[in-house]
A = this chain, B = another copy of it.
Amino acid sequence: MPITVVGSIAYDAVKTPFGERERMLGGAAVHFALAASFFEDVRVVGPVGDDFGEPQLDVMRSRGVDVSDIERVSGGKTFFWRGEYGWDLNSRETLDTQLGVFDGFQPKLSERSRTSEVLFLANIVPDLQIEVREQLPHARFVALDSMNLWIDIARDQLVRAIESVDCLILNDAELRQLTGKPNLVSAAREVLAWGARGNGSGADTSTAGQRGPSVIVAKQGEYGAALVTSESFFALPAYPLESVIDPTGAGDTFAGGFVGYIAAHPEEELSDELLRRAMAHGTALASFNVEEFGTERIERLTGEEIAARVEELREITHFSGAPLKLRA
């Protein structure tokens, strides 16, 4: 099923303890699209300024990404983010954010982008997410990402946006903040209840078209990710790397692998089994993303490398049962 993604297309300036880049291709929609392109057709919707180059578009084109709905705003400047990471990459400071063409952006989706059966609403202002969601009323699977800023200043709109999708993908701390529940499982169950509230019945991961999310993915950074549905829980550690260079875009790359894998299985129902395999592919993609700056590693990634890493993830999480008579 083709995928439409709406979100930021950006230039990032990033400094980590292991190096820096002054102006590299970034943005949630870009990281997502490159990852998802290993699985399905991807159409990117978002604005750029006059300063956005053909080489950057070519990075996406070379992975078969449809960039025709990337709107070039005449006289505008591309979204810009500058950040710096601390010693162990677990903390990051935003030093500058310039909305540029995102200020006042109104998404215009082509007919082609509106026919996608899968939609990813990357982290943008919730009202825009709702607007785009409404332009794809018949999408079979819609996932949404967000961030603490919108929980702080636009929580009501964000909750409305979340209630309109099938899957919420959020950092675990933000999931707690959003719900006011102190722990991951209770926070996820709270959002699942929003889903159930809409149609008056229990959330059911196998039923498309219900109101509100039936799938919650908590991103846990270096610790991996967890999946909560009304029936099941699954957690997968991050792939262990001896050297992490730049975490920027890891979450969106994860989402691209996760949503992409689901999109590549149109005949399969949204089972726990399918979702878990999607988690593994998202985790594998994210692990490559952080090995180098920005999109550098993903640009030359191969399908064989992804498949091999998914197998490694199986290996490093596997343990055998060995019944042992324990002492009373």
Contacts and interface: CB of A to CB of B under 8 A. Distances in A.
Nearest to A180: B87
A236 B39 contact: no
A316 interface: yes
Given A17-B182, A226-B237, A321 B326 contact: no
Interface stretch (A19-27, A67-75, A104-112, A271-279): A271-279
A233 to B, nearest CB: 5
Interface in A2-47: 17, 37-39
A185 B291 CA distance: 14
B233 A316 contact: yes
Nearest to A279: B319
Given A185-B241, A327-B39, A311 B321 contact: yes
Interface residues of A, number: 61
A324 interface: yes
Contact of A185 (B226, B232, B242, B304): B242
B234 A316 contact: yes
Contacts of A323: 307
A242 B189 contact: yes
A171 B17 CA distance: 23
A215 interface: no
Interface in A181-234: 182-186, 189, 220, 222-224, 226, 228, 232-234
B324 A307 contact: yes
A314 B321 contact: yes
Nearest to A41: B327
Ranked nearest first, the 6 interchain pairs of A and B with the lowest CB-CB distance are: A303-B326, A235-B237, A276-B319, A223-B223, A88-B182, A185-B242
18 contacts: A89-B183, A183-B222, A185-B240, A189-B242, A220-B223, A226-B240, A233-B240, A235-B317, A236-B237, A236-B319, A264-B324, A273-B319, A276-B318, A279-B319, A280-B319, A303-B325, A303-B326, A306-B326
